[in-house]
Amino acid sequence: MRKKILVIIPAYNEEKAIGKVIEDLLKYFPEGDILVVNDGSRDNTSAVASQYEGVTVVNLPVNLGIGGAVQTGFKYAARYGYDIAIQFDGDGQHLAEEIPLLLKRMEELQADMVIGSRFLSPDVDTFRSTMGRRIGIKIFEWINSLLIRQRVTDNTSGFRAFNREAILFLAENYPVDYPEPEAVILLGRNRFKIGEVQVKMRERQGGHSSIFGWRSAYYMIKVLVSIFLVALRYRVR
Amino acid sequence: MTRVQLVAIAGSLLYLFVIFPLVFKKKIREEYALLWLFFGFVLLILSLWREALHFLSSLVGIYYPPTFLLLVLIGAIVLILVQYSVVISKLTSRIIELTQELGLTKMELEKLRKEHKQETKK
């Protein structure tokens, strides 16, 4: 039986990038349905995304942040019976043609979540973010690996594939503030199996990262606190 | 009656005069008003009843009894603020849930409208 696959694209003010992202997906990954979660954008993100045939757009009336937007996608996937959900950024850093890599890895490992990692094979040539961020990501790697005893090299990557069990779980329990590193802990602590596969990423095409400068230190501290709390708290299943 | 006691009584009464009408007119929901009212009455009673205040102060080793009133007040403020954090967090997660549901529902409505339009055209 063919699996139903949903590509979830959280988008906040991405009118410049979203069109290309959708075109790439339609071209390189036509077997997936596309869901754009427009997270209360003030630009034309919604209108641009709605132009494309076969793209579903969910407009959130207020901005929830990336976690709330992605979770909306999981709720949609849970309700409409999707077997697999792909989380895919709306700013064009992820490559649509690499989605099958994630799916293949999921099959091989029988994993519940597969993360597209920039750091798994150091010899692959790809954009790997700035020095400061790499240090932060390394710290996440150590801490998360320690806490869940599974090695995850790219905790902040937003390029991920989830199976049905993970979808159902995350539709109910998704971290809202800094979802990527937290979701790893959350799933790990609840005995989901996590895998990774090396991918390439592009530098962002439009827009700005929400995290820069002094905010990164603040971000690190906040995320670390949340991670420890999640690790202490959750064992839902 | 000492001057500080008069000030304490006046202060407690003022506090209650502010809180009570708000609760009465339901500007503050009863569940949140409980803490406010409770501490208002505690402060008033301790201001009026000197012996109790002196006894309680000596119990915790405070030499100047009116300080104990401040301690109660600070305790009340901290407790109420903590309650606010709990309430705000609860509201936040409800808003998130409602926003998501609203988004999904609007999307479904849109879809139904489109289908309906196509059917009426046929």
Q: How near does any CA of chain A get to the CA of B77, in Å?
A: 26
Please classify residue A190 by burial: count the beta carbons closer than 10 Å to its beta carbon, then call 0-12 exposed, 13-18 middle and 19+ buried: middle
Instruction: Spell out which residues of chain B touch residue A68, defining contact as CB-CB under 8 Å.
Output: 96, 99-100
Residue linked to tokens 């009426």: B120
What pLDDT, on a 0 to 100 scale, did the predictor assign at position A79?
Answer: 96
Please classify residue A139 by burial: count the beta carbons closer than 10 Å to its beta carbon, then call 0-12 exposed, 13-18 middle and 19+ buried: middle
Q: Is A37 on the interface with B (CB under 8 A)?
A: yes
> What ipTM is given for this predicted complex?
0.85
What's the pLDDT tens digit per position in B74-100? 999 999 999 999 999 999 999 999 999
Find, among A87, A84, A128, A94, the residue nearest to A20 by Cα.
A94
- The pLDDT mean for chain B works out to 91
What's the pLDDT tens digit per position in B49-65? 989 999 999 999 999 98
Find, among A76, A128, A115, A98, the residue nearest to A24 by Cα.
A98
Q: Could you give the C-alpha distances from B46 to A112, A178, B17, B40, B121, in angstroms and in order?
A: 61, 47, 17, 10, 78
- Which of A72, A79, A176 is opposite residue B103, by nearest beta carbon? A72
Find, among B122, B27, B21, B7, the residue nearest to B70 by Cα.
B7
Q: Could you tell me how many CB contacts below 8 A there are between chain A and chain B?
A: 37
Instruction: Spell out which residues of chain A touch residue B104, defining contact as CB-CB under 8 Å.
Output: 58, 72, 75-76, 79
What pLDDT, on a 0 to 100 scale, did the predictor assign at position B1?
Answer: 75
Q: Is B104 on the interface with A (CB under 8 A)?
A: yes
Q: How near does any CA of chain A get to the CA of B30, in Å?
A: 30
- Which of A57, A60, A79 is opposite residue B99, by nearest beta carbon? A60
Q: Tally Cβ neighbours within 10 Å of residue A194.
A: 21
B113, two tokens: 């409208």
Cβ separation B100–A68 shorter than 8 A: yes
In whole angstroms, give the CA distance from residue A184 to residue A221: 17
pLDDT in tens, chain A (237 residues): 678 999 999 999 999 999 999 999 999 999 999 999 999 999 999 999 999 998 999 999 999 999 999 999 999 999 999 999 999 999 989 999 999 999 999 999 999 999 999 888 777 777 777 777 788 888 888 888 788 888 888 888 999 999 999 999 999 988 877 788 889 988 998 889 999 999 998 876 555 555 566 777 788 888 888 888 888 875 666
**Which amino acid is residue A158, in one-letter code?**
G
